[in-house]
Each structure stands twice: as C-alpha cells, then as structure tokens.
Amino acid sequence: MKFILATHNKKKRDEMSRILSPLGFEVYTAEMLGIELTDAEETGKTFSENARIKAELGCKESGYPCIADDSGLCVEALGGEPGVYSARYSGVHGNDEANIEKLLEKMKNIPDEKRGAYFACAVCVCYPDGKVIELEGRCEGKIGYEKIGEDGFGYDPVFMVGEKSFAQFTKEEKDAVSHRGVALRKLVELLRGGQNV
C-alpha cells in the first residue's frame, strides 16, 4: 500500500522514509506523486491534534492514506516548553539557530540535575475511508550547555542522550532511539498486525 507523507520538511521526510521503507512500506512525498498539498495550520494544543490536522488534510487532498507527525522538545525545568511551539519558539518558524539560542538562554542558570527533557512525536495515519490510527513515541534526554555535533536538525545539537548530542549520532543510531523512530516502529507493528484494513 502506498502512503503519502504530509511534510514539506526535507530532513523529517528523509528520516521517516529511512525508517519505514526498509520495513516494507511504500512511502511517497506529494512531489513524488505529482500532488500539491496545502500547508496545514497547526492550531492544535497538543502534538496529537496537530498530527491529525496534517494527516486529515493530506489524505483529503491526495486521496491516499496519509502519514503525518508532529513533534517537539519538552523541557521539564521550563514547564514543558517549547512543546508544540518548538519550531517557532523564537517567534520565527523553522529558525533552528534562534530557537536553540532562546532555549540555552532560558536554561543558563539551570543546574545539571534539573536539565531533563524529552522529544515527543505523535504520528497519525488517515485513510480515505475515514479510518484513523494515532500513536506516540518519546526519547528521554537532557539539555546540554552548548551546541555539539554537525548532523541532525532542530534542537539535536543541544539534546543530550548519554554523553552525546543527537547531532553526534549517526542516522542509524538516532533512528534506533529517537521519538520518531519509536512512534514509527509502533505504527509498523500495528499495520503488520492487520490494522490497515
């Protein structure tokens, strides 16, 4: 079965394809199928609500089963910030540098033992017949004191898992433990268990 991915974020799209394709799922972008998807307004108050908004719109516009995710960073010392506003924490959507700068500034006086954080990912699949699958994944870590590493995107350079930041992980290492990897593997288990009929 073909699934369309509802995202214009190339790095996120590559990550989702990298995890799902080897497991036997045909995943396509709108561009690959010659379809133009509208950018959904992420008006939800939770990751799950935003993922569903994007999946429903992508399914309606494409006619294909649509997979969407919404994810972000939740920092305990900041009461869960930036949460659903992760991509626009600095006030400018998608400005990773400014978002990290704001986060590190807010965390500058927070001691090591209170720097706990987690990445959360909500995945939603909407089918043309109205069926919906929703699930979540998490990856626990903590916020570092400075950017470390060259790979990844978003908050990866300051999100520490053990002694390394996500930006120091290989793609395979990150996929094995990331919030998105956890959520997508749960999805694969459900679909292989017959949840796609």
* Long-range contacts, stretch 9-16, CB < 8 angstroms, 24+ apart: 11/153, 12/69, 12/153, 12/180, 15/171, 15/174, 15/175, 15/178, 15/180, 16/67, 16/69, 16/180, 16/184
| CA 120 – CA 61 distance, rounded (Å) | 27
70 is catalytic: yes
**Are 148 and 156 a contacting pair, CB within 8 Å?**
no
H-only helix segments in 35-194 = 47-62, 96-107, 171-177, 179-190
| CA 113 – CA 163 distance, rounded (Å) | 14
In the set 14, 69, 70, 112, the catalytic residue is 70
| CA 17 – CA 123 distance, rounded (Å) | 14
Please list the active-site residues. Answer: 70
